[in-house]
Structure 1
């Protein structure tokens, strides 16, 4: 389970753009064809909307994600739980959220199938 946690945490971290944005090609590989999301705001997003947004994002946010844990839901499905927040230029934290991601192991590797963020206290 530790190996799975490390692998899914690394894949999830790619989506946070640590230092550089993901390419459109990488996003298309990471996001399952059936991917959809309910964001921290409560808004629903399709796979294409998320890919378009992340691939064209000019400013890369500084996201801190922590307290990751994973649950195996089936042989090829896992649920990743974690907390996150963004860091402003002055170092202050904002947009804290509790997050869950459903990952599916497919022929191309682990792909994100569903993601949800819920506002949380800092």
Structure 2
């Protein structure tokens, strides 16, 4: 550097990329070193026994390098949007953890037994759940955080009850189960592809 001249400050985006790269290179998890810049996804970097979750938007249809279990979790999540599945006690008990808790849109809290009873008595609806904008964060080897948005769509194609949702999924005995769910009302958003409508049936 020429004497008397100061280096230009590093742009914020370069600082962020440098920080992520340092964390990635120091990570004890081997696959992070080779796949860090291969495309959008969520991952966790460990540095000095601290966990830094890096959450990046994931598009179900546009990213072939998503986390292997994300697509499966979305299938399980959207299955719970269907009345037929919600009434199936065997299926619900397999998808929900025994210590499941939910905080509903109204702020009310529910436990496993309360949710089971509610789902069992549900009647046919005049609307369907529309879901989109899924994101997934790897919190640990056996815990995932799934974020997305929903709206209710009636038979005339009208949308209402816009909501942001968060689900925590844990791996129990090789079976992913939802441990916590929360719904938060939000302003209307632009309707995109309905992921709930395109998911295949699941085998439990």
Fold agreement, TM-score > 0.5: yes
Greater CA drift, 100-109 or 87-96: 87-96
Unpaired runs of 5+ residues, structure 1, are none
Equivalent residue number for residue 25 of structure 1: 90
Partner of 2:70: 5
Matched, 1:103 2:169: yes
Q: Which has the higher strand share?
A: 1
Aligned 8 A contact 1:102 1:112 in 2: yes
Structure 1 CA distance for aligned equivalents of residues 70 and 114 of structure 2: 27
Aligned partners of 2:77 and 2:131: how far apart in 1?
9
- Please say if residues 85 and 91 of structure 2, whose CA atoms lie closer than 8 Å, have aligned partners that are also in contact: no
Q: After superposition, give the CA deviation of every residue in 1:10-57 in whole Å (9 maximum; x if it has no partner).
A: 00001000x734301111111101100001111111111111111221
- Structure with max Cα Rg: 2
> Residue 86 of structure 1 aligns with which residue?
152
Give the length in aligned residue pairs. 121
Given that 1:103 and 1:113 are in contact with CA atoms closer than 8 Å, whether structure 2 keeps it comes out as yes
Give yes or no for contact 2:148–2:164 (8 Å, CA) kept in 1: yes
Give the superposition deviation at 1:108: 4.9
Superposed structure 1 runs of 4+ greater than 3 Å apart: none
Assess if the C-alpha contact under 8 Å between 1:5 and 1:68 holds in 2.
no
**Hey, what does 2:110 align to over in structure 1?**
45
Bigger relative contact order, structure 1 or 2 (CA pairs below 8 A, ≥6 apart): 1
In the alignment, the residues of structure 2 paired with residue 119 and residue 65 of structure 1 have an alpha-carbon distance, to the nearest angstrom, of 14
SS in 2 for 1:41: coil
- In structure 2, the gaps of 5 or more residues are 1-65, 189-204
Indicate the RMSD between aligned Cα atoms, in angstroms: 1.4
